Amino acid sequence: MSHHLSGPNLRSPLGDARLDMTDLFAFAVPGGRTVLILDVNPVAPTGGDAFHPDAVYRINVDTDGDHRADVAYSFVFSRPENGRQTVTVRRATGDQARAHEAAGQALFTDVPVNFGAEHPAVESGPYTFYAGFRSDPFFADLDGIVAKFQWTGVDWGADKNVFAIVLEVPDADLGPHPEIGVWGRVSLRQDGRLTSVDRGAHPSLTAYFNAEEVKDAYNAGEPADDWATYREPWSAVLTHFGNYDPQAAEQTLRTVLPDILRYDRSRPAAYPNGRTLTDDVTSARLTMLTGGKVPTDHIGPHTDLLPHFPYLGPPHAN
């Protein structure tokens, strides 16, 4: 899957779908603006729980190439009450951006989470925001992948929903240089301590590359440590599945380690330069994993996407 079920044994972190980050997107729209999308809660049911009230959801942005957050947008949700939930959005910089706590300037306060098919955008100064129920944009023949590339022609995500966080910001908000790095994180407060339970940027990494016993540690980790920690075991995976030699394995891994989605905003977004909602990331990962022997799963992007904010399609009835 993309980043769905990123806990051990193909389960959500701590067995709680609300904490399960599924996808991250970063792309440009007209008017000198960048769209950042963090999807969570895979296979979300109609009328089900949305976001965890004890969690901090974050989109981190590295503006200087040191693999550490320089700008961070945090999203904290209220406890659900009578079918309602609200969210407060903050923007942090500097040391506050590197911590996992929600901190910094409040951009939006007590915005209602949307549980229906409508998609009301909320604006505050130069920012546009939405949080709520949407169609999952992830597309892949997962049954075919499990069946060792005997393709079924069935898109697993065609009828699935997620809860989405969509934030549109002016380009200047992300630093003066066009090159940025983006990753998502979900942290949970337990017994007074905030612990990272999920994180990532590039799709379909932890499912293919991480052994079950290291997935929790990966989710708690920092991208700046990724190369030193995961270069050797992930190179071994590429050697096994794709017959890579050591030099080719390391060169290939540099596109995904550290696990930060690099985006040069002076060029059109197309994975792995940012990520749009129609980029075929499943085929990209299959090609990488198998050394080009399996170049695609023959599944195309969804047709319910919107040409305007919040860009994700309306949720499916279920």
Task: Kindly tell me if the per-residue pLDDT of 1 is higher than 80.
Answer: no
Cα torsion angle, 226, 231, 236, 239, sign: positive
- The whole-chain average pLDDT of the chain stands at 96
Residue 118: pLDDT band with limits 50, 70, 90: confident
Q: Over pLDDT 70: what percentage of the chain?
A: 99
Least confident of 61-70, 106-115, 116-125, 158-167: 116-125
Helices (H), the chain: 94-98, 142-146, 206-209, 215-220, 226-242, 246-253, 281-289
Angstrom distance (rounded) from CA 39 to CA 23: 5
CA distance 34 to 65: 18
Cα→Cα distances 215→10, 12, 44, 207, 312, Å: 10, 11, 22, 9, 29
Those residues whose C-beta lies under 8 Å from the C-beta of residue 12, and which sit 6 or more positions away, are 5, 6, 19, 20, 42
Crossing angle of helices 226-242 and 246-253, rounded to 10°: 120
Phi, psi of 86 (to 5 degrees): -125, 165
| Residue 49 or 48, more confident | 49
According to the model, what pLDDT value does residue 47 have? 67
Rounded Cα–Cα distance for residues 13 and 21 (Å): 9
Whether 119 has a pLDDT exceeding 90, the answer reads no
pLDDT of residue 22: 97
- Over 90: is that where the pLDDT of 101 sits? yes
pLDDT in tens, 226-284: 999 999 999 999 999 999 999 999 999 999 999 999 999 999 999 999 999 999 999 99
Backbone angles phi, psi at 9, to 5 degrees: 60, 40
Entry field: residues in the chain = 318
Q: Where residue 117 falls among pLDDT bands split at 50, 70, 90?
A: confident
Q: Among 52-56, 62-66, 262-266, 314-318, which stretch is predicted with the lowest mean pLDDT?
A: 314-318
Residue 294, token pair as written in the block:
């399996």
Above 80 in pLDDT, residue 151? yes
Looking at residue 216, its pLDDT comes to 97
pLDDT band at 314 (very low <50, low <70, confident <90, very high): very high
